[in-house]
Amino acid sequence: MDRKKYGREWRRRKYERRLAVLNRGAMTCQRRFGRFGICGGALHVGGVCHRCERLKLGLCADCPAPVAGMVRKARRCAACAKRAFLESMARYRETHRALVNRRAKNAARKNRQRNADYKRLWRAANRDKMAAQKRRYSLRQPPRRMRISGPTDSITASPRHISRTPAPGSAWVAAGRRSRVASRSAPRAKRRCGECSANVGEAYVGVLRRGEP
């Protein structure tokens, strides 16, 4: 046996003897992992910890899969290690909320111009995605009552007259005044369905016939 392997086995046996002394008056396993981690598994008859036995066999601590890494050092498979890491990060954020918020604010201030340049370049390269996002945002808005003011009397359009997706055979489609594409590109103040546009036109013609300014 070479000197390196002999030293490794000697340190292992020495730690096992020290661990047996620590577990003698404890209810849970006192094996350490890293600087602050402790196994914490329940000690059974004879001071045996099932978690440590799985560690020696190279099995994941949370599932029957083999560990991702060196046997007797790695504790979990790749999937369980990623899940445990995410849970640990979530606990850290909850425990140190003020520190995490302060670091995020400082990073945002430091990289504000870089992030703005990245967003500008991304929007210029993805025009279709930006248009789709704006359309989804407009469709999520609640219906509103539109009040039209001008030379005519005040006309209030009911939300049922403002149709975002006109049904086949409606007044808007039958009149052929606007297509759906043209209505999207038009200013918001000029979007009206065919019935509202007809009402506004009739009211304006009535005002011209009466000679009102």
Enumerate the domain spans of the chain.
10-57, 145-210
| Lowest-confidence region among 11-20, 65-74, 94-103, 183-192 | 183-192
Minimum mean pLDDT range among 47-56, 117-126, 160-169 = 160-169
Query: Per-residue pLDDT averaged across 25-39, rounded?
Result: 83
At 5, is the pLDDT very low, low, confident or very high (cuts 50, 70, 90)?
A: confident
**48 within 8 A of 57, measured Cβ to Cβ:** no
Residues 18 and 31: beta-carbon distance below 8 Å: no
Q: How confident is the model at residue 145 (pLDDT cuts 50, 70, 90)?
A: low
Three-state DSSP class for residue 203: helix
Portion of the chain with pLDDT greater than 70, in percent: 68
Taken in order 176, 181, 186, 189, is the CA torsion positive or negative? positive
> What are 184-191's contacts with CB under 8 Å, separation 24+?
184/135, 191/162
Mean pLDDT of 7-27: 87
Q: What is the average per-residue pLDDT within 65-69?
A: 91
Distances in whole angstroms, Cα of residue 39 to Cα of each of 3, 46, 48, 49, 125 = 30, 17, 12, 9, 51
End-to-end CA distance of the chain: 110
Looking at residue 83, what DSSP letter applies? H
Q: What is the mean pLDDT of residues 150-162?
A: 45
The chain-wide mean pLDDT, for the chain, equals 76
| pLDDT, tens digit (0-9, with 9 covering 90-100), for 170-200 | 544 444 444 444 445 544 544 555 555 555 5
